[in-house]
Amino acid sequence: MSDNQRRVYCRILFLAICAFPTAFVGYWICHPQTARGWEKTLQAQLGVTTSIDSIETPGPYVTILRGLEFTDPELGTLFKAVEAKIEFGQDKNVISIPYRVQGLNNKGVACLIKKVNENLIRAHRVDKPWRIQFDKNTVISQDLAVDVADLRAGEFLPQFPMSELNLDITPLADGTRADLRFKVPMSNAPDNVVQCALVRSEEHGHKMGFTSNTVALPCWLVSDVIPIVSSSFGTEAKFVGLVEVEPTPGKREVNINGTFHQVDLDRSFPIPSGDQRFGQIELQNLRFVNSVVKSGDGWIHQGSEPSMRINPIELYSLTRQIAPTQAIRSALELRNRVVDQKIYR
């Protein structure tokens, strides 16, 4: 090897080992990230008002946001975290939240999901996979301002604890996919994982799949996360089952298979004081296409009374929600007419 070749190789080696890393670190030091800059970035990406108290950058690929808060003009605080750690990786970026977050309620969660859907998923702004993980158990409360009328004397504001909450956002060839997973430690199946997937693509439009995996979830939470489920089941109602929404060219298909427990029947039909006020609605493989029932069946169970079949057509309202009011009223009115006829005879 000639002297000229040695000099060239030494220069390349010096640039690779010393000059490039030093220049990169120098640029990073001279151009520090600021809380204001992160506020603007997150607000532009998510579409929600963002405030950050301070930041820390322990390394070129790690940023810690302290005092992170998302707010909405109408709902107020949507989400507040003492600390959020962002790690930028080659294959995936990870946001980890080490402490329990504050201010989460059903309306705020629905608002955040809507903003993520509108600003990230539909806009295809995700260039690599992201994971948002909550290291501590998370508690979501029911929005008091909206649902206080549903509380009775002596009742407390409903709360819903969850653990191992993770949100994965993945870019697709023609769209974006978001997967939400969590466990419910105080449930009937604490080891089962609840899953909700949201896919937005040019070919299939907006698809949604949800399964409780045998875990009973409060309807006041489900109705905000899954818009086709209404909040007219009562504050104590829970849902176990799966829901799928799949748009195809020229039509919108909804599939639901599950059971609503502790449904407040008195909200739909006056229940005599001596009768069981709460019941359950069982939906068996119901399939709606453009709000028209194509298959499946439904039943109401009230205490020890015989099961009452409900008309699936009356379950799906004009607002494209599973709203049981009319179906419950019709079933109970029919049963009462049959009972009255038997007594008269």
- pLDDT recorded at residue 328: 79
Instruction: Flag whether 16 is in a domain.
Output: yes
Alpha-helical regions (H) of the chain: 3-14, 20-30, 35-46, 106-116, 144-147, 219-225, 325-344
Instruction: Flag whether 153 is in a domain.
Output: no
- pLDDT recorded at residue 151: 52
Q: Answer yes or no: are the C-beta atoms of 90 and 16 closer than 8 Å.
A: no
**Pairing, β 278-289 against β 251-264:** antiparallel
Instruction: Flag whether 13 is in a domain.
Output: yes
Q: Give pLDDT tens digits for 215-243.
A: 999 888 887 777 777 767 888 889 999 99
Instruction: Flag whether 140 is in a domain.
Output: no
For residue 77, what are its two tokens?
A: 């605080």
Taking 50 as the pLDDT cut, the residues of the chain under it are: 3, 6-32, 146-147, 339-345
Instruction: Flag whether 69 is in a domain.
Output: no
Kindly tell me the sign of the dihedral angle through the C-alpha atoms of 86, 70, 141, 222: negative
Q: What is the DSSP string of 15-53?
A: IIIIIHHHHHHHHHHHS---HHHHHHHHHHHH-SEEE-S
Q: What is the DSSP string of 95-131?
A: EEE-S--BS-BHHHHHHHHHHHIIIIITTT--SS-EE
In sequence order, which residues have a C-beta less than 8 Å from that of residue 70 and are 6 or more positions away? 46, 48, 49, 50, 77, 78, 79, 80, 112
Instruction: Flag whether 25 is in a domain.
Output: yes
Count up the domains in the chain and report the number.
1
Instruction: Flag whether 219 is in a domain.
Output: no
- pLDDT recorded at residue 41: 83
CA–CA dist 212, 180 (Å, integer):
12
- pLDDT recorded at residue 275: 80
Report the candidate in 308, 224, 321 with the shortest Cα–Cα distance to residue 265: 308
- pLDDT recorded at residue 239: 92
> Residue 5 sits in which domain range?
1-31
Residues facing residue 87 across a β-bridge: 62, 94
Instruction: Flag whether 18 is in a domain.
Output: yes
CA–CA dist 48, 330 (Å, integer):
43
Q: Give pLDDT tens digits for 246-304.
A: 877 777 788 889 999 998 888 887 887 778 888 898 989 988 887 788 888 888 888 87
Report the candidate in 152, 222, 162 with the shortest Cα–Cα distance to residue 187: 162
